[in-house]
Structure 1
Amino acid sequence: MRILDILDNAVPKEKAENVREIDYNRLQRLGYNTILFDYDNTIAVWREPFDMRNKEVIDRLIQSGMKVGVVTNGPQSRVRNLKEIFGNQLKVYHSMRKPGTKELRRVLSEMKSKPEKTVIIGDLFFTDIIAGNRMGMYSILVSPIVDISQKWYKRVMARISIGVYLLFFFTVGWIFRINRLATPHRFANNVMDIDFDSLKESGYRLILFDFDNTLEEWGASTVSREKKLLLSRIERLGMNIVLVSNGKKGRLGKIDDELATIKVLSRARKPLTFKAKKVLKDLEIPPYQTIVVGDQLFTDIIMGNLLGAYTIKTEPLSEREFFWTRLVRRVERMLLKKMKRHPNVEVMDR
């Protein structure tokens, strides 16, 4: 692998303090059906028996119908105790050689699971996270288990692991984090190409549309008949619509008056999420039932991904736009070619 690919794959999709703090219900709602845990410092102190505080988590996952496994680079003797605790309900695999993916592919084959439906959870970004991201899994990094009762060198190793990750993340890692946040779930030529019926059937209830160069050309102060009909059809499906724009209130106020049943939010300060979060709170709609549609990676898509929404990037309707946006487009073009090859991105073709 090239060094840039390695660094990119070292960034987790999500971070949590420990395995008990993860929202597994949300992962199930997103369609994941398989959970793979690392062992050392993830569900047990390094080179120690299973931490029984985590038993309830695994029991609950198994009872909910999720496929659950443990994938460790450690020897069989390290995880032998899991058989006594969980019997055959928990799949246990040792000597995995992460960040290599050969053994992980064998595991998924045996569990009859797909990488895109699998979550991998571990404490080491240079083994668990890289391996999971290379395969297209959803990766979650947890902090190594630190117990004051464990031997001093084990506490030191856990602290070193945390320190190495923080050093990575706050130097070059944040660049790859931004790249990941700017990657949409799907591309579409324009809003007319999006299958809103299918999205409604998938359980989505709210669509946050950008306005300039997404619904209408940049600077427009009215909505075309074609787009009004589209918005009306989406509403008839039973979905909520909010226009979220960084544009000025004066111009967008006219559009707000024109669209009587649709809220228009101006000066949203995207990619910041605080105004969008207030919309979700007021409508009592969670992020995983929300779609963000926009033409800009570094405003619309980053905001949507920070929210935890499903993001769709459209092509800009015209080349006319704000001076600063034209400069940002140059950076976008450098990223777009790679993004469209990303395993978690779909390109919509009609």
Structure 2
Amino acid sequence: MPRRPSPDRAPNQVDVARRAGVSAQTVSRVMSGQDTVRPETAQRVLAAVDELGYRVHGAAAALATGRTRMLGVIVVSNVQYSSAVISAGIEDVATHRGYTVTTTAVAKHAPIAAFIDAFDRLERQGAEGIILVAPFEFEDEAMQQRLARTPTERGDRRAGVVDQELIARLATEHLLNLGHDNVWHISGDEGWAETHKRRDGWARVLNERGITPPPTISGDWTPESGYRAGQALAGILEATAVFVASDEMAFGVIRALHEAGRMVPDDVSVVSVDDIDLAAYASPALTTVRQPFRSVGRDAALRVITKIEGGDPDAQDFDITEPTLIVRSSTAAPAR
């Protein structure tokens, strides 16, 4: 019968191996998330871990293997729904593959130096790979040096992940196909690449239809900015349709239109972007273009782990990340 560890010391991998009837190397493989162990053997090891109360000591494991199995994530400090769901997707994959995640936030509109400092902090903490969830190109030479030396992925809009111009096309064409003569646009924060891509996509669709794009009304992703933009839009009586760059801004737009006596969708149809959980429960329920945020996070984590482990991320199969138009009751044909 396997011996119990002494009550005077914490159980170790050897104790787990004895209890499970396997080698210490097999225990190490299971605890590090490797998929080379048969499922029934892995279950036996995990049962022994629970029974003995064994816990991996991160520092000791790093010393023994030369690896930390840590991913670093840099996000822009805000309360946006998208960042939280992308991070959840990263955590999904990291947990499954035996990695931990350490996240650091950089203030909105911070200079590039703040991102470089965050990158350096994560490297010092032992991050083997870093995921950037930030809307910038990072063309600075110092940042490029860091991106070259540490496996890195974008957790926001890697080329081909989510086509922001397609998002604008889906939204704008939906409103035009309902019969609206023109579509106004309330844009996001000017510092974000998504803002420019969505605006370009909106204008391109209108130009293709022979329609002159009206002036853009600027926002900054917040409901407050949407409310202010909605107040401005309410005074433009010929505006019967608006494409808003985020759901959260759309909530503010709808409130402002309602207060001005302009009903949605009877007087103004509203379509936005993201499909956050509250969108289906707004009044009226919000027509929006769904972004697959969780898939984007999973995709970024899989790619960076593949790089860390010496594989080719371009040879892997990842989640489909096409945006999808979700039609609800905030859009309708214009009243004539």
TM-score higher than 0.5 here? no
TM-score in terms of structure 1 length? 0.24
Rg larger for: 2
TM-score in terms of structure 2 length? 0.25
